[in-house]
Structure 1
Amino acid sequence: MANYLDVSLTISPDLPQWPGSPPIELKRRRDMAQGDKANDSVLMCGVHTGTHVDAPVHFLAHGADVTHLPLEILIGPAVVAALPDVDAITADTLEGLNLPSDTQRLLLRTRNSESWRRGERAFQPDFVALTADAARWVVHRGIRLIGVDYLSVQRFHDHHETHIVLLEAEVVIVEGLNLAQATPGNYEFICLPLKLAGADGAPARAVLRSLSE
């Protein structure tokens, strides 16, 4: 049996949320402890909760929704790269990784993942993310999927240009990965977002299988 590493966050009310996002609530609609014949729950949360993907329509008025994200991009070989000492991911940062020329899926492990390891519940506005020039570098290199280990691919106080550059080029954005246990290397990446009609994003389960052994 292959060993898979779950790199998705557990959705619960304790999970940090982007400021202004609706609270996460999981409530029992029917409860066997109260005499019902089955347990039946209702989940209430935003589509950009926890580990999730962004669809083009998130920032492009006429962009595609999440149901149109291609599976052949969401599943396939990926490189996990570590950037433990940076506060922002720039084009120069990415160039310095010396990635294989055929890299199509890139997952970036930064100090953000340590906050998941520690179980921090408060939103961290100083999280590490990509600058707009880094997004242009991703597009220029032909990378088709970029994954980051906090709740946004762009920094908290930046303009939306990072998102727009990536989404206009149809780069799939995966946000909220927990890469604390992922050592740098080559993996099979599987990321399956919920198939929500019309949605600008969707929570996803994401896993890695090492290809380095």
Structure 2
Amino acid sequence: MENKKNDSGNDYKYIRISYNLTEDTPVHPDLAKITITPKNQIKEGDSYNTSVITAENHSGTHVDAPAHFLKNGRSIFTYDPNELTFKKPLIVDCPKKPDELIHEEDLSPTLKHYNVDNLDFDCILIRTGFGKYHDTDTLKYLTKNPGISPEAVFYLRSNLPKLACLAIDTVSMSRYGRMEEMIRVHQTAFSANDGLGKPLLFVEDLDIESIPTAGSLEEVMVIPWQVGGIDSAPCTVLVKIKSE
């Protein structure tokens, strides 16, 4: 892809940090496996190729909207593309071992590097390093993932008034097998509360390792499947980075 120039004259390029959906895609243990079934096939004498794809709406890289956990929460198909384009993203490196929690103190050192008046980040990408197990140890990736604590979500919402999206390189924002913790994590993010800005979106199951070092990330675009009536959806995620 040819590099382009942004408004400041710097070269940049787009890269994709969402995974392909395949029949081997790791999906949360509570979900059905993805199936991709050829229907019409040129090699079988048909005039064209088609396939039937069966996938639950939280399969692979996907975006959770508030309706995922809240009765009156907003559904992803109602979001305007401009609400899914984030101009001030930040990567937070937070190395974690299997099944560990991400706490406030894991996140605060990165934020403290910035002046309190400049905490206008609209998208935080948490890089735990756990994505290395996506293709090498599926069972570990799906059942031993690190997750963020409800208190850490509240901390981010309290300190970043423009925050609209939280993303992570694990299969879920919450740890596997802890129902009460999972509910609290999602409801803390999705609930409308005075003084906490807009309810968040979660983007889960990302390949954040492919993003270069801090300072190169300029923009994040989340592009969900356009399916009416569903709470959340698989998505493509593109990031704009400065070229080296």
Give the 3-state SS of the residue equivalent to 2:29 in structure 1.
coil
**Contact 2:92/2:107, CA 8 A, preserved across alignment:** no
| Cα distance in 2, alignment partners of residues 204 and 180 from structure 1 | 18
Give the 3-state SS of the residue equivalent to 1:180 in structure 2.
helix
| Cα distance in 2, alignment partners of residues 42 and 15 from structure 1 | 16
Task: Tell me which structure has the larger Cα radius of gyration.
Answer: 2
Q: Which residue of 1 aligns with 2:143?
A: 125
Structure 2 residue corresponding to 1:40, chosen from 41, 47, 50:
50
TM-score, reference length from structure 1: 0.91
Q: Which residue of 2 aligns with 1:137?
A: 155
| Cα distance in 2, alignment partners of residues 159 and 206 from structure 1 | 24
Structure 2 residue corresponding to 1:111, chosen from 129, 142, 160:
129
Identity %: 23
**Contact 1:111/1:128, CA 8 A, preserved across alignment:** no
Q: Which runs of 4+ in 1 moved over 4 A?
A: none
Select between 134-143 and 72-81 the one with higher mean Cα deviation: 72-81
Structure 2 residue corresponding to 1:176, chosen from 205, 211, 215:
205
* Residue 27 of structure 2 is aligned to residue 17 of structure 1: yes
Give the 3-state SS of the residue equivalent to 1:67 in structure 2.
helix
Give the 3-state SS of the residue equivalent to 2:132 in structure 1.
helix
1:17-166 paired onto structure 2 within 5 Å? 17-77=27-87, 78-85=89-96, 87-98=100-111, 100=114, 101-116=119-134, 118-122=135-139, 123-140=141-158, 141-142=160-161, 143-156=163-176, 157=178, 158-166=181-189
Quick check: which one's helix share is greater? 2
| Cα distance in 1, alignment partners of residues 74 and 105 from structure 2 | 31
**Contact 2:96/2:146, CA 8 A, preserved across alignment:** no
| Cα distance in 2, alignment partners of residues 55 and 22 from structure 1 | 20
Deviation at 1:184, TM superposition (A): 3.8
Tell me the C-alpha RMSD between the 2 structures. Answer: 1.8
Deviation at 1:212, TM superposition (A): 7.8
Structure 2 residue corresponding to 1:8, chosen from 18, 25, 37:
18
Q: Per-residue CA shift, 1:34-83, capped at 9, x if unaligned?
A: 11110011110010011100121110012121112343332122112211
TM-score, reference length from structure 2: 0.80
| Cα distance in 1, alignment partners of residues 18 and 103 from structure 2 | 25
Deviation at 1:167, TM superposition (A): 1.0
**Contact 2:77/2:231, CA 8 A, preserved across alignment:** no
| Cα distance in 1, alignment partners of residues 203 and 70 from structure 2 | 17
Deviation at 1:206, TM superposition (A): 0.6
